[in-house]
């Protein structure tokens, strides 16, 4: 038993496990701060980001855009869904046990809660090219690294859609000056948008 304890301690302090601990600690800290935001601050911050997105020539030219359904006070991009789904293909994620797919948004009447409790479109799976992907996250840094919700769905999905333009969206307090823990499997964003800032490569 003593030997097994030494092995456990050794494995826990391997560099990749230390990185995972740091990620979990930062995720818990920032997630807690976001969850206690007021509705007014969520609306104000989200609206500022939506305005920046709508003013972007890249978004204006995009024909296929992937958004997400916000949970726990995440930046709310749903106004873009309602405004543009008649003129662009607006996609939302559908999560399965080990992977994520996307389906076109076709109005709130076609939404049902998925196995993670997040509303998902009941339309057919989309398999074509995506121009822009807007990515939620718990924390980002100035090098465009991202810490997500912890499921790994987005990192895997983004690797399969490297040709799309990846945009992370978050509130100002979620953008860290210090480099956040990340690995080679984590996908960098092409751009990060906060209510007051925009960072691109």
User: What is the Cα–Cα distance from 122 to 141, expressed in whole angstroms?
Assistant: 35
Report the phi/psi class of residue 129: left, alpha or beta, with left for phi > 0 and alpha for psi in -120 to 50.
beta
Per the CB < 8 A criterion, the answer to whether 105 and 94 are in contact is: no
pTM score of the predicted model? 0.86
Q: What is the CATH class of 2-200?
A: alpha beta
Q: Which two tokens stand for residue 111?
A: 């939404």
| Lowest-pLDDT range of 52-66, 78-92, 183-197 | 183-197
Per the CB < 8 A criterion, the answer to whether 146 and 187 are in contact is: yes
Count Cβ atoms below 10 Å from residue 77 Cβ, excluding itself: 20
Residue 122, pLDDT score: 95
Q: Which residue has the higher pLDDT, 15 or 67?
A: 67
Residue 12, pLDDT score: 45
Q: Which two tokens stand for residue 181?
A: 């823990």
């Amino acid at each position: 038993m003593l030997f097994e304890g030494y092995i456990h301690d050794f494995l826990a302090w391997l560099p990749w496990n230390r990185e995972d601990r740091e990620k979990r600690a930062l995720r818990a800290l920032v997630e807690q701060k976001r969850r206690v935001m007021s509705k007014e601050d969520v609306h104000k911050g989200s609206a500022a980001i939506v305005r920046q997105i709508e003013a972007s020539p890249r978004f204006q030219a995009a024909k296929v855009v992937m958004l997400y359904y916000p949970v726990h006070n995440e930046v709310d991009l749903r106004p873009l869904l309602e405004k543009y789904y008649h003129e662009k293909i607006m996609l939302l994620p559908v999560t399965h046990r080990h992977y994520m797919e996307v389906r076109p948004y076709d109005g709130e009447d076609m939404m049902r809660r998925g196995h993670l409790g997040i509303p998902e479109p009941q339309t057919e799976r989309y398999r074509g090219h995506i121009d822009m992907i807007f990515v939620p996250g718990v924390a980002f840094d100035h090098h465009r690294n991202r810490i997500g919700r912890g499921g790994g769905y987005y990192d895997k999905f983004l690797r399969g859609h490297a040709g799309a333009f990846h945009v992370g969206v978050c509130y100002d307090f979620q953008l860290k000056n210090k480099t956040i823990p990340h690995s080679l499997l984590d996908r960098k964003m092409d751009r990060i948008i906060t209510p007051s800032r925009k960072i691109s490569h």
